[in-house]
Amino acid sequence: MPATRPSRAIAVLDLDNTIVRGSAVFHFGRGAVSRGLIAARDVWSFAWQQFRFAHHGENTGKLRDIQDRALGIAAGRRLDEITALMPDIYDRWIAPCVWPHIPDIIAMHREAGREVWIATASPRVIAAYIAERLRCTGAIASDLELTPDGRLTGRFSGPVRHGQSKADAVAALARERDLDLAASFAYTDSINDEALLRLVGNPVAVNPDTRLRRLAGHEGWPVLRLRRR
């Protein structure tokens, strides 16, 4: 089906548990262990931090602390070293965890002439590569702090794109590109993205957590159930 003329509407997809099962950063960590980049024990420590982040997020009042400690396992590594690993890690560890219907959803929006963006708290180096492989327009993600010689410090350099910060970044993108958010779509699994869902005219709950499922039912939002097959 040929693409129509460009639309002023967009589709925004969360990454963890929406595009991929689980945490994309954790899947990256598994691949980094297989390449000897980091130790296995560090990945499990990182997985615990990611679990706390995903389930508590901004409500803990320690969002930056949780993410900073999680990123600490990569401190001292060069960003270009991480970037060079992405093709192999994506093929072996991330691609198998992409929900089967997600490429179809992305293609549907592209065919309708809409830009498709990934919006996530995950590091940009990971999110941008996943966006490229899935033929998305780009990624709204969290930037990593670097030393002058290009090494990771283990901290973020700006806002962690989670919750309200993610919605603010999408709103800023809409202003910059003169987009129509009332005609746009957002897909996410988490109640933490309520602000993003309320920002667009077409919110969709994907395999929602308990609180988001209740909210979707109350608001009459569609619920999309994705399965491995």
Structure-token match 């327009």, residue found: 137
H helices within the chain, ranges in order? 24-34, 40-56, 63-71, 79-89, 102-111, 124-133, 164-177, 194-199, 210-219
Strand pairing class (144-146; 152-156) = antiparallel
Reply yes or no on whether 104 is catalytic. no
Name which of 220, 203, 64, 209 is nearest 142 in CA terms. Answer: 64
- Which of the following is catalytic: 14, 68, 189, 193? 14
Nearest to 29 by CA among 144, 120, 123: 123
Q: Which candidate in 16, 68, 189, 193 is catalytic?
A: 16
Measured distance between the N- and C-terminal CA atoms of the chain, rounded to whole angstroms? 24
Indicate which residues carry an active-site annotation.
14, 16
